[in-house]
A = this chain, B = another copy of it.
């Protein structure tokens, strides 16, 4: 064995692919956004309920769109008693389990919301993570489409509460029953065609991503992507494909309604689905939500397999520049639909339900693009520097710090190696500290402290050639009695806040 091999390998600090750390700015923005969403949901009469991250694998079921991955796209492991457990891949399947498990205690309709992490064991890619946050609302025990209509209105209100202007978003609505009718009309009805139907749904769901030509290939023989990977198609013939593409291509529902009705006429579910869509449209309009907010759009599919009726999608309509430098519509930030079969998998009775799920990080990206986040200003702490490192001095610096905190001011004593004073000021600068407090032996003897206005100091050094501003400027450094410390710091912080207000 060579020397090189014998050397102990240093442990490498790295995350598994598809997982990321979150910065302070990201966390503040998420909190700001989820607080606004929560406020809307509460106003709609929803209450929070949460489930743990693990479920038994059979209780979750297999409803994921990309089942061509190992473990069916789910992180799973075996418990000690050999039962398989999985990390939840969405928040809907666990809610169904929760309702079924507590059915006797729960008063239906059960209106709840929850935000939490979900996990997909998928191939990670740019902007595609294996852990991400969803924010869901669900009404369980609601048989009528008025509950679906309400979900759509709530999503429209949520978009506006987040500062997204009317016209910049649309809640698009379709119905799986209409889709089923179209399937039946092209000869894909019946239990034996279930797998093929699913492939058709998944192909349609890729319309945003691959366009009509791409979906045509996925509906037919299959499609090869840029990397050379081949996705097998649904194997439809030209005439079948044409009908599917007519349906998903409908832009103006009112104009195409007659042709659509003719297409699904005589199918078991198609006509029922069209009636439901019309009812949702009428109820939304009755409550003042026109087609600029809630829009019937047959191209909406939603990838998850458990939907049984109306499906919805919240789409942002403004342009953003993608990684290739192209202008594209921002697109979907969430969706949902009716899942009447999900709770009843556990029960002897039907339990109708509908819900909506927001993709938190995707919506946050959109809001950042619009400049609608980060309004909550976080001021960095006042830094109490350390000039002397003996226990008694430390106690005194700590006391200054505590006095500031007791007055509600963010403050910290320097906790690094205090011996290099330059490092302390460099730290204050990189951290963006507004003020530094300094007390050396001389000041201590006089019972005073120096207070450095770091923001004014920075401004002064930038404007040094302008004499007028020198005269007007606040003094960047002052010496005050220890007893005056808190009052003086407050005064400077207020002056800085006033400067920021004026600079806006």
A146 to B389, CA, bound (A): 10
Chain B residue at minimal CB-CB distance from A428: B107
A254 at the interface (CB under 8 A from B): no
A431 at the interface (CB under 8 A from B): yes
Question: What per-residue 1/0 map shows which CB atoms of A135-156 lie under 8 Å from chain B?
Answer: 0000101111011011001000
Instruction: List A377-434 residues whose CB lies under 8 Å from chain B.
Output: 378, 380-381, 389, 391-392, 394-396, 398-399, 401-402, 405, 408-418, 427, 430-431
A398: contacting residue among B53, B79, B146, CB under 8 A: B146
Q: Is the CB of B16 within 8 A of A389?
A: no
Q: What B residues does A265 contact at CB under 8 A?
A: none
Chain B residue at minimal CB-CB distance from A80: B70
A146: contacting residue among B10, B20, B415, CB under 8 A: B415
A488 at the interface (CB under 8 A from B): no
A44 at the interface (CB under 8 A from B): yes
A52 to B401, CA, bound (A): 33
A268 at the interface (CB under 8 A from B): no
Q: What B residues does A117 contact at CB under 8 A?
A: 53
Q: Is the CB of A11 within 8 A of B59?
A: yes
Q: Is the CB of B24 within 8 A of A47?
A: yes
Q: What B residues does A410 contact at CB under 8 A?
A: 42-45
A462 at the interface (CB under 8 A from B): no
A127 to B181, CA, bound (A): 52
A11: contacting residue among B12, B346, B414, CB under 8 A: B346
Q: Is the CB of A10 within 8 A of B346?
A: yes
Chain B residue at minimal CB-CB distance from A143: B417
A108 at the interface (CB under 8 A from B): yes
Q: Is the CB of A415 within 8 A of B52?
A: no
Question: What per-residue 1/0 map shows which CB atoms of A11-25 lie under 8 Å from chain B?
Answer: 111111001111110
A392 to B286, CA, bound (A): 7
Q: A13-B100, A109-B416, A416-B108 are in contact. Are A43 and B79 (CB under 8 A)?
A: no
Interfacial residues, chain A to chain B (CB-CB below 8 A): 10-16, 19-24, 27-28, 42-45, 47-56, 58-59, 70, 75-77, 79-80, 83, 85, 97-98, 100-102, 107-109, 111-112, 117, 119, 130-131, 139, 141-144, 146-147, 149-150, 153, 157, 279, 282-283, 285-288, 345-348, 378, 380-381, 389, 391-392, 394-396, 398-399, 401-402, 405, 408-418, 427, 430-431
16 CB < 8 A contacts A-B: A10-B348, A11-B58, A11-B345, A14-B97, A42-B410, A45-B381, A77-B77, A109-B427, A141-B416, A143-B416, A144-B417, A146-B398, A149-B394, A282-B391, A285-B395, A286-B391
